[in-house]
Chain A
Amino acid sequence: MSWQQRYLPALISVASVTAMVIALSYVVGGSEAWPRIQAQFFNLDAMRQAFPRVLGGFWTNLWLWGAGLVAIGIWALVLAVMRSMTGPWFAPLRIFTMVYVDLFRGIPALLLVLLFGFGIPALNLSGLPSSGLFWGFVAMVLSYSAYACEIYRAGIDAVHDGQRAAAKALGLGQWQTMWYAVLPQAIRNVIPALLNLVVALQKDVVLLSVIGVRDAVREAQIFTASTFNYSSLVVAALLFMATSIPLARLTDHLARRDRARRTQGAG
Chain B
Amino acid sequence: MKNRSAARATTLAKPLPARSMAALSLRVFGAVIALMALTTALFAQERTVNDPNLVTPGKLTVGTGDPVYAPWMLNNDPAGGEGFENGLVYALAAEMGFAPGDVVWTGNSFDQTIAPGPKDFDFAIQQISVTGARAQVVTFSDVYYQPEKAVIALPGSPVIDATSFDDLRTARWGVTLGTTDADYLENILGISDAAVYSQQVDVFLAMQSGQIDATVFALPSALFVTAVQVPDAEITALLPSDANDRGHGLLFEYDNPLVDWVNDALTNVIDAGTIEELKATYLVSDPDLPVISE
**Footprint of B on A, CB under 8 Å?**
36-37, 40, 118, 121-122, 124, 130-132, 209-214, 218, 221-222, 224-230
User: Considering residues B137, B193, B209, which has the most beta carbons from chain A within 10 angstroms of its beta carbon?
Assistant: B209
Q: How far is the CB of A37 from chain B (nearest CB, A)?
A: 8
**Contact indicator A225/B209 (Cβ below 8 Å):** no
**Contact indicator B133/A228 (Cβ below 8 Å):** yes
A37, A118, A222, A226: the one contacting B209 at CB < 8 Å is A118
Q: Give A228 to B180 CA distance when docked, in angstroms.
A: 12
Q: Give A121 to B196 CA distance when docked, in angstroms.
A: 17
Q: Give A189 to B142 CA distance when docked, in angstroms.
A: 66
Mind listing 21 A-B residue pairs with CB under 8 Å? Answer: A37-B116, A40-B116, A121-B209, A122-B205, A124-B209, A131-B211, A132-B195, A132-B206, A132-B209, A210-B202, A212-B196, A212-B211, A212-B212, A221-B196, A222-B182, A225-B114, A225-B182, A226-B131, A227-B134, A228-B114, A229-B137
* Additional 17 contacts, C-beta under 8 A, given A131-B211, A212-B211, A227-B131: A37-B116, A40-B116, A118-B206, A118-B209, A130-B210, A132-B206, A211-B202, A212-B206, A214-B195, A214-B196, A222-B177, A225-B182, A226-B180, A227-B133, A228-B114, A228-B133, A228-B137
Task: Chain B residues near A40: list those with CB within 8 A.
Answer: 116, 137
Q: Give A40 to B137 CA distance when docked, in angstroms.
A: 8
**Contact indicator A221/B211 (Cβ below 8 Å):** no
Given the known interface contacts A122-B205, A212-B202, the answer about A228 and B178 at a Cβ–Cβ threshold of 8 Å is no
Task: Chain A residues near B212: list those with CB within 8 A.
Answer: 212
Q: How far is the CB of A210 from chain B (nearest CB, A)?
A: 5
**Contact indicator B209/A212 (Cβ below 8 Å):** no
The verdict on B179 contacting chain A, using a C-beta distance below 8 Å, is yes
The verdict on B10 contacting chain A, using a C-beta distance below 8 Å, is no
Task: Chain B residues near A37: list those with CB within 8 A.
Answer: 116
**Contact indicator A36/B206 (Cβ below 8 Å):** no
Q: Give A121 to B182 CA distance when docked, in angstroms.
A: 23
Over the window 200-218 of chain B, the binary record of Cβ atoms lying under 8 Å from chain A Cβ atoms (1 yes, 0 no) is 0010011011111000000
The verdict on B171 contacting chain A, using a C-beta distance below 8 Å, is no
Chain B: residues with Cβ within 8 Å of the partner, total of: 29
**Contact indicator B138/A228 (Cβ below 8 Å):** yes
Report the nearest A residue to B212, measured CB to CB. A212
Q: How far is the CB of A125 from chain B (nearest CB, A)?
A: 11
**Contact indicator B177/A122 (Cβ below 8 Å):** no
**Contact indicator A221/B116 (Cβ below 8 Å):** no
Given the known interface contacts A122-B205, A218-B177, the answer about A130 and B196 at a Cβ–Cβ threshold of 8 Å is no
Q: Give A224 to B179 CA distance when docked, in angstroms.
A: 11
Q: How far is the CB of B249 from chain A (nearest CB, A)?
A: 13
Task: Chain A residues near B136: list those with CB within 8 A.
Answer: 227-229
Task: Chain B residues near A214: list those with CB within 8 A.
Answer: 193, 195-196
Q: How far is the CB of A166 from chain B (nearest CB, A)?
A: 54
Over the window 165-201 of chain B, the binary record of Cβ atoms lying under 8 Å from chain A Cβ atoms (1 yes, 0 no) is 0000000001001111011000000000101111000
- The 8 closest A-B CB pairs, nearest first, are A212-B195, A121-B209, A122-B209, A228-B137, A227-B133, A225-B178, A118-B205, A132-B211
Task: Chain B residues near A122: list those with CB within 8 A.
Answer: 205, 208-209
Q: Give A124 to B154 CA distance when docked, in angstroms.
A: 15
**Contact indicator B196/A222 (Cβ below 8 Å):** yes
Q: Give A1 to B24 CA distance when docked, in angstroms.
A: 77
**Contact indicator B211/A121 (Cβ below 8 Å):** yes
Task: Chain B residues near A222: list those with CB within 8 A.
Answer: 177, 182, 196
Task: Chain A residues near B179: list those with CB within 8 A.
Answer: 225
Q: How far is the CB of A217 from chain B (nearest CB, A)?
A: 11
Report the nearest A residue to B110, measured CB to CB. A225
A36, A130, A209, A229: the one contacting B211 at CB < 8 Å is A130
Q: Give A130 to B209 CA distance when docked, in angstroms.
A: 7
Task: Chain B residues near A209: list those with CB within 8 A.
Answer: 198
Report the nearest B residue to A132, measured CB to CB. B211
Q: Give A145 to B212 CA distance when docked, in angstroms.
A: 29
Report the nearest B residue to A130, measured CB to CB. B210
Report the nearest A residue to B254, measured CB to CB. A36
Given the known interface contacts A226-B180, A226-B183, A228-B138, the answer about A210 and B210 at a Cβ–Cβ threshold of 8 Å is no
**Contact indicator A225/B116 (Cβ below 8 Å):** no
Report the nearest A residue to B251, measured CB to CB. A228
Task: Chain B residues near A224: list those with CB within 8 A.
Answer: 114
Given the known interface contacts A226-B131, A227-B134, A228-B137, the answer about A212 and B182 at a Cβ–Cβ threshold of 8 Å is no
Task: Chain A residues near B193: list those with CB within 8 A.
Answer: 214
Report the nearest B residue to A228, measured CB to CB. B137
Task: Chain A residues near B183: list those with CB within 8 A.
Answer: 226
Q: How far is the CB of A54 from chain B (nearest CB, A)?
A: 13
Q: Give A35 to B197 CA distance when docked, in angstroms.
A: 32
**Contact indicator B133/A210 (Cβ below 8 Å):** no
Q: Give A39 to B117 CA distance when docked, in angstroms.
A: 12
Report the nearest A residue to B133, measured CB to CB. A227
**Contact indicator A227/B208 (Cβ below 8 Å):** no
Q: Give A214 to B193 CA distance when docked, in angstroms.
A: 8
**Contact indicator A121/B210 (Cβ below 8 Å):** yes
